[in-house]
Amino acid sequence: MADRVVAVVGSGQAGFQVAASLHQEGFAGRVVLIGDEPVPPYQRPPLSKTYLAGEAGVDELWLRPSEFYAKQHIELVCGDAVTGIDRVERRLSLASGLQMSWDHLVFATGARYRPLRVPGSELDGVLPLRTLADANTLRQRLNEARDVVVVGAGFIGLEFASVAMARGANVHILEITHHPMGRVVSQTVARFFTEAHIRWGAEFSLGTGVARILGEGGRVAAVETTDGRRLSADLVLICIGVIPNTELAGAAGLPVDNGIVVDEHLVTSDPAIFAIGDCANFPTPFAGGRVRLESVQNAVDQGRCVAARLAGRPEPYEKVPWFWSDQGDLKLQIAGITVGHDQSVVRGEPASRSFSVFCYRAGRLIGVESVNRTSDHVAARRMLAGEPRLAPEQAADLDYDLRAHIRGSARH
């Protein structure tokens, strides 16, 4: 079996992890890691945080130094896209014209930014934030930007907004729903972060979209909102979500439904093909069904899971999902999936800027959102990994010791 070939399509966080873990797991075959970006694997989270703020340099983004790949016998291909997959012949083709055979193939193709389809969205200064190249452009444009409009108040939009304000720009945030980050956090946390951004100087227009973008000499000059206002802008960030990169898998005849559909072992309908990270739609007990997650934890743990399986140690994927977001001096950490909760209790005081929201569904703890309270987050991850029987009254009681609860020695 020493000559088995694993081809990994996509060299982001998930693709990097499966390749790195294969060798740690003792896999003896060839590992080929193919990425269409012209750079080695890097971390995306700093692109909207320290890197954008100019507090981290590019050297701090690389997942490993360039020598790592040769040392680990990972054949890294940068700047070449996989353009076709032949499942019968077990071959793939690259944009450069090269072809290669594989025995196992891992889709780690991630997601791309979702464009805003309105008149004027092609103007210079209307920008996305997904890649290192995007972040380099934005970092430079923020040097001159005075009036910034952020379209979409998700995590990345709000992180960008906090950096833009810290760099002296006036920031106006447009959000089509009435709840920033509303897709994934409780109303308590959404409200808390909205108020924080307003204190830092942001203006919000909730329930408001973009009618068109106006330019002067090819450059963005203003955004016209769906309620007829005109907001001055010399930089517009479009942050309205992502589209999973599933076209290759779909063209190869694999089922796709908001991501490449996989089973609990992250295997597609073809037993030789896996999908992991942002491009994968998988079943998890934490969502009570199928989900596609966009997080570093998910990319890393799914990469490890597939590597272990290829090395002969198959286990179903059932890791507790967790996520973080840094905005200004606030760290939000989420354990579990809180969407769909029907009860929530707050531990600590939002006014003290250190609190957690414990979210329950049908009396069962399903997730915890913590603001500047890492100890609650760590405890929550451990509880969710086991039997999360924490009563709402215990969660809300600051004197109730969560660590002792996990050890089974808390006073009741």
Ligand X SMILES: Cc1cc2nc3c(=O)[nH]c(=O)nc-3n(C[C@H](O)[C@H](O)[C@H](O)COP(=O)(O)OP(=O)(O)OC[C@H]3O[C@@H](n4cnc5c(N)ncnc54)[C@H](O)[C@@H]3O)c2cc1C
Shortest gap between Cβ of 119 and ligand X (angstroms)?
Answer: 26
> What span, in angstroms and rounded, lies between the C-alpha atoms of 162 and 199?
11
Residue 56 has which token pair? 């981290």
Residue that has been written with the tokens 């092609």 in this structure: 122
Alpha-carbon dihedral 347, 348, 353, 357, rounded to 10 degrees:
10
Shortest gap between Cβ of 399 and ligand X (angstroms)?
Answer: 32
Shortest gap between Cβ of 279 and ligand X (angstroms)?
Answer: 6
64 burial level (CB within 10 Å; 0-12, 13-18, 19+): middle
CA atoms within 13 A on the CB side of 351: 0
Shortest gap between Cβ of 47 and ligand X (angstroms)?
Answer: 4
- The phi and psi torsions of 238 (rounded to 5 degrees) equal -100, 115
DSSP structural state of residue 37 = S
The residue (of 63 and 211) whose beta carbon lies closer to ligand X is: 63
Q: Is 220 helix (H, G, I), strand (E, B) or coil?
A: strand
Residue that has been written with the tokens 């590992």 in this structure: 31
The residue (of 45 and 180) whose beta carbon lies closer to ligand X is: 45
DSSP structural state of residue 321 = P
Shortest gap between Cβ of 239 and ligand X (angstroms)?
Answer: 9
Residues in the chain: 412
What residues form DSSP beta bridges with 332?
325, 371
CB 247 within 8 A of CB 83: no
Distances (CA, A) of 220 to 121, 149, 165, 225, 321: 9, 11, 19, 14, 39
The residue (of 169 and 300) whose beta carbon lies closer to ligand X is: 300
The residue (of 280 and 366) whose beta carbon lies closer to ligand X is: 280
DSSP track, 80-115: --EEEEETTTTEEEETTS-EEE-SEEEE---EEEPP
> What span, in angstroms and rounded, lies between the C-alpha atoms of 381 and 320?
7
Positions touching ligand X (CB under 6 A) are 9-15, 34-37, 44-45, 47-48, 81-82, 108-111, 129-130, 156, 245, 248, 277-278, 294-297, 299, 323-325
Cα angle for residues 219, 245, 299 (degrees, 5° grid): 110
Shortest gap between Cβ of 35 and ligand X (angstroms)?
Answer: 5
Residue that has been written with the tokens 């942050």 in this structure: 239
The residue (of 47 and 184) whose beta carbon lies closer to ligand X is: 47
The residue number with the shortest CB distance to ligand X is 12
Shortest gap between Cβ of 303 and ligand X (angstroms)?
Answer: 8
The residue (of 299 and 390) whose beta carbon lies closer to ligand X is: 299
Shortest gap between Cβ of 106 and ligand X (angstroms)?
Answer: 10
The residue (of 210 and 248) whose beta carbon lies closer to ligand X is: 248
26 burial level (CB within 10 Å; 0-12, 13-18, 19+): exposed
Shortest gap between Cβ of 320 and ligand X (angstroms)?
Answer: 13
The residue (of 25 and 37) whose beta carbon lies closer to ligand X is: 37
The residue (of 14 and 145) whose beta carbon lies closer to ligand X is: 14
